[in-house]
Amino acid sequence: MPIVNCKISKNVKIFYPELVNLYNCKIGEGTQIGPFVEIQSGVVIGKNCKISSHSFICSGVKIGRGTFIGHSVTFINDKNPKAVNKKGKIIKKNEWLMENTIIGSNVSIGSSATIMCGINIGDNCIVGAGTLVLKDLKKNNKIYNKVFNELKNKK
Amino acid sequence: MPIVNCKISKNVKIFYPELVNLYNCKIGEGTQIGPFVEIQSGVVIGKNCKISSHSFICSGVKIGRGTFIGHSVTFINDKNPKAVNKKGKIIKKNEWLMENTIIGSNVSIGSSATIMCGINIGDNCIVGAGTLVLKDLKKNNKIYNKVFNELKNKK
Amino acid sequence: MPIVNCKISKNVKIFYPELVNLYNCKIGEGTQIGPFVEIQSGVVIGKNCKISSHSFICSGVKIGRGTFIGHSVTFINDKNPKAVNKKGKIIKKNEWLMENTIIGSNVSIGSSATIMCGINIGDNCIVGAGTLVLKDLKKNNKIYNKVFNELKNKK
């Protein structure tokens, strides 16, 4: 069961503990976590969130309360990811810069969204499905994939 | 083995039954299902389909015969997904609107495509890789990611 | 443990062998492979690569040394994927055309990127997160999702 050294609050539902990879993270009371989810070291997730299947939440991410993370949502914590350093050796922890991402409460992040690091998404924001988010979103705002905006403008 | 209460017809191939999450769904004869696939309650998949690895097929989706679902294809069944209701409690089944998605026969949905709910995709349609589909597609039609169309126009 | 008939060199790290699907592939010395990764038949990966969680590397892909493959990166090997042939029978190995993809050394492919087949990506290239790559990239080049380029031009 790949749930290692996590602080899992009461009433957390992890539907298939053998099909997730959670380590050194904190999961708030009542939060639900689907299968094929990876949550890395240092992640803090508030209470009553839904973390849907196939999502990846990396080190550096904090998520408030009552936030929805859709399916196949991918967070990022390194703007210049490399496998090796200049000497060709596998990069070590102190050889790359981790950037944080803060997601507020009551946020909804649609499926297949990708969230760049170094970003804040405020409370009550909506990120549409399939959106690549590269900049901050102040609270109560919405951002969508361009395809969505184009379709809306046509109507 | 997370295959619970499913109607699996004969000659269905599920390559790694311990690496999927299937529940309360119907899988037609001869259909093949890769690893890291989730298929939810009420889904009906016809015969001789290929459901590729990392795909997510949610409640509300029906798929015809001989249809190809690529890798990391994500379906959606809720246009306004929320984790919690206005009182801050985890949303219950009767507090959100599920919208259906109907995929015809002999359809090909490319890898990394995301399919919004409330949509019909007719027989023999092609959805290119990495396409976000937000509207109906009548039978025998094609839709591609904008990057694909731009490249084609340049040539 | 779904690791079947692979040539795994020394010092390869597969963090959760029970949560990957690797078959008939070659993994170079020191390479690291995350959970929920599928690597298919015939794939060759060089030494000191990082293959991040939720990635899919299909038959026909070769990857050099020291290359970073982000999370949820999807490769493709068939431009016209179908589940069935004209007679409605599941397609066999000799009924579709596999196209190769060659990724050089010291390449960085960002998370959620999708790489079309029949493509070469040269040494030291960077593919930004969420990019659909449809054409060759000569060595030392970069390609990003349009959203990234638009944001950069605004600044």
Domains of chain B: 3-81+93-154 (2.160.10.10)
ipTM given for this complex? 0.96
The answer to whether the CB atoms of A54 and B54 lie below 8 A apart is yes
CB C58 within 8 A of CB C42: no
Provide the mean pLDDT of chain A.
Answer: 96
Quickly tell me which residue has 């969204």 as its tokens.
Answer: A113
d(C-alpha B66, C-alpha B73), whole Å: 16
Residue of C91, C99, C111, C116 best to disrupt the B interface, most CBs of B under 10 A: C116
The reply to whether A13 touches chain C by the CB within 8 Å rule is: no
Q: Is A9 on the interface with B (CB under 8 A)?
A: no
Give me the residue from C15, C19, C72 closest to A72, CB to CB: C72
CA angle C55, B18, A36 (to 5 degrees): 40
Per the CB < 8 A criterion, the answer to whether A114 and A134 are in contact is no
Nearest CA in chain A to B35: A36
Residue with tokens 């050089």: C104
B56 → closest Cβ in A15, A54, A65: A54
Q: How confident is the model at residue A155 (pLDDT cuts 50, 70, 90)?
A: confident
| Cβ within 8 Å, pair A34-B38 | yes
- In this predicted model, what pLDDT tens digit does every residue of C121-148 receive, in sequence order? 999 999 999 999 999 999 999 999 999 9
All partners of chain C with 3 or more CB pairs under 8 angstroms: A, B
Chains in touch with A (3+ beta-carbon pairs under 8 Å) read: B, C
- The DSSP bridge partners found for residue A64 are none
Mean pLDDT in runs of 10 for chain B (155 residues)? Answer: 92 96 98 98 98 98 98 98 96 95 98 98 98 98 95 86
C-alpha C127: how far from chain center? 12
Please give the pLDDT value at position C4: 96
SS3 of residue C13 by DSSP: strand
pLDDT value for A29: 98
